[in-house]
Structure 1
Amino acid sequence: MEVPDKFNEGVTSWETVIFLYNSALKEVGTKVEILNDEFRHIHKYNPIEYVKSRIKSPESIVKKLKRHGYESTIDNMVKHINDIAGIRVVCSFTSDIYRLAEMIGRQNDLTVVSIKDYIKNPKDSGYKSYHMLVTVPIFLTDGVVDTKVEIQIRTIAMDFWASLEHKIYYKFEGNAPEYISRDLQECAGIVSMLDAKMLSLNEAIIQAKEQQRVKEE
Structure 2
Amino acid sequence: MNIAQNPNSELSHFAVNTPQVFEIPETFRETARQFQEAMMQYSCAIREFKTKLEVLNDELSMRNARNPIEMIKARVKKPKSIVEKLQRRGLPLSIESMESNLDDIAGVRVICSFVDDIYEISRMLERQDDVTIIAIKDYIKAPKENGYRSYHMIVEVPVFFSSSKKNIRVEVQIRTIAMDFWASLDHQLKYKKQLDAQEAAEIGAELKKCADVIAETDCKMLSIRQKIEEKHPTQEE
Deviations 1:11-62 (A, max 9, x none): 2110011011000000000000001101112232211111111111112212
Task: Quote the RMSD (CA, aligned, Å).
Answer: 1.9
What is the CA–CA distance in structure 1 between the aligned matches of 2:205 and 2:58, rounded to whole Å?
A: 40
Q: Determine the structure 2 residue equivalent to 1:28.
A: 49
Shift of 1:77: 1.4
Query: 1: distance between equivalents of 2:222 and 2:92?
Result: 46
CA distance in 2, matches of 1:127, 1:174: 20
The partner residue of 1:194 within 201, 217, 234 is: 217
Whole-angstrom CA distance in 1 between matches of 2:71 and 2:145 = 27
CA distance in 2, matches of 1:40, 1:120: 26
Tell me the SS of whatever aligns to 2:160. strand
Structure 1 runs not aligned, ≥5 long: 1-8
Larger fraction in helix: 1
Equivalent pairs counted in the alignment come to: 203
Q: Which residue pairs with 2:229 in the alignment?
A: 206
Which residue does 2:176 correspond to in 1? 155
* Match among 202, 207, 225 for residue 184 of structure 1: 207
Higher relative contact order structure (alpha carbons within 8 Å, sequence separation ≥ 6): 1
1:64 aligns with 2:85: yes
Runs of at least 5 residues in structure 2 that lack an aligned partner in the other structure: 1-29
Q: Relative to structure 1, is the Cα distance of residues 130 and 174 closer, same or farther in structure 2, using a 3 angstrom cutoff?
A: farther
How many angstroms apart in 2 are the aligned matches of 1:73 and 1:11? Answer: 11
User: Counterpart amino acid of 2:155?
Assistant: V
SS across alignment from 1:83:
coil
Aligned residue number for residue 122 of structure 1: 143
Poorly superposed stretches of 4+, deviation over 6 Å: none
Q: Return closer, same or farther for 1:75/1:40 CA change in 2, 3 Å cut-off.
A: same
Residues 145/174 of structure 1: CA separation in 2 closer, same or farther (3 Å cut): farther
Q: CA deviation at 1:173?
A: 9.3
TM-score, structure 1 length as denominator? 0.87
| SS of match in other structure, 2:67 | coil
Distance 1:67 1:42 in 2: 46
CA distance in structure 1 between the partners assigned to 2:32 and 2:80 by the alignment: 17
The match for 2:113 among 77, 92, 97 is 92
Tell me if the contact between 1:169 and 1:175 (Cα under 8 Å) persists in the aligned partners: no
Within 2, Cα distance between the matches of 1:55 and 1:122? 26
Deviations 1:48-99 (A, max 9, x none): 1111111111122122222222233222211111111011111111010000
Counterpart of 1:47 (choices 68, 71, 80) is 68
Structure 2 vs 1, CA of residues 90 and 126 (structure 1 numbering), >3 Å: closer, same or farther? same
One-letter code of the match for 1:16? E
Q: How far apart are 1:175 and its partner, in Å?
A: 7.9
Supply the distance in 2 between the matched residues of 1:203 and 1:43 (Cα, whole angstroms). 12
How many percent of aligned residue pairs carry the same amino acid?
45
